[in-house]
Amino acid sequence: MKEIAPLIINWYQENKRDLPWREDKNPYHIWISEIMLQQTRIEAVKKYYERFLKDLPTIVDLANVDEEKLLKLWEGLGYYSRARNLKKSAQIIVEKYQGKMPENYEELLKLPGIGEYTAGAIASIAFLERVPAVDGNVLRVISRVIGSKKDILLLETKQEITELLKEIIPVEADLFNEGLMEIGERICLPNAAPLCDKCPLCNHCIAKKEKLTNIIPVRIKKTKRKIEDKTIFILVYQDEIAILQRPATGLLANLYEFINIDGFMEEKDIKEQMQKWNLESQKITNLGRKKHIFTHITWEMQGYRIELKNKNDLFIWIKKDELDKTYALPTAFAKWKENIERTLFDL
């Protein structure tokens, strides 16, 4: 293990990608990118990162941003608690640290939404603190190098690998951590055969030597996602569409949604539902089924576009440009926007 650090650093310096958050060592930029990169692909994050920093260039701007604007900037990234925790942390940084990021791992770890990995990434990349940054990529690479068949989804496995890395992390902690993550993303692949012939660690890798890369890393998933059925209504009155704001707590808190009910509704029952909402339908179009997968829940959705003769006071009625510019619509509901644009607004 002690021999791999210089190999990682040399490979990274020669092969690192040109990414916007690597243009400087600004801890705010690193923080935003690391939070965005959780559960999201690098290519998808780039446009969100640039837009976010254009509107909120400093920690003070983030601390003072209106939540509705913040959620709109985050729209499409999902896991909206990440955005809310960014603002909470920014407010703490302004109040407690005079608007400057804490410069060590232990202080970073105290901020909302910053766990061990993110604290390690910021501390090592921005401040060169010799701490590991252990994410799924790192767990995969090191598990293969040492030939570990322990379940990487277990906290104890992560802790063991973290302790192992603490013993070998060099002074160039930033290059080491970024290089290790980059090898995991581009070489030691998660869902395909690893590119061992391109890996700087291939001569030190037990999984390669013993032909175990299809077995290691070990992941034992124990929970199944709950499946929930929903009926989505694209309610159209003239050039307006109906939405509602979700509750302040729970899944997708405070975000906006198209009108929906639990369970699948047949077309024959829709007119009756419209009457309950004091609405009169004139045309019903079946939009088919869509699916959205959350961490622990899967939504199976049946959609209908319903042209109305009137509107009510139960819902919020908006125009398309308002939906695009003002109201943050989570991905589960944004899946239905294409139906709006093709049918309602192309007039």
Q: Are 45 and 29 in contact (CB under 8 A)?
A: no
Identified catalytic residue from 3, 14, 34, 210 = 34
∠ CA 339-347-331, rounded to 5°: 25
Q: Is 34 a catalytic residue?
A: yes
Q: How far is it, in rounded angstroms, from Cα 296 to Cα 335?
A: 19
Report the Cα–Cα distance between both ends of the chain, in Å, rounded.
Answer: 65
User: Do β-strands 240-245 and 256-262 pair in parallel, antiparallel, or remain unpaired?
Assistant: antiparallel
Is the link from the previous residue into 194 a cis peptide, with omega within 30 of 0?
A: no
Query: Which ranges constitute the DSSP H helices of 98-154?
Result: 105-108, 116-127, 136-146
Query: Which ranges constitute the DSSP H helices of 38-134?
Result: 42-55, 59-64, 67-74, 81-97, 105-108, 116-127
Longest dimension (CA), the chain: 73
Which positions are catalytic? 34
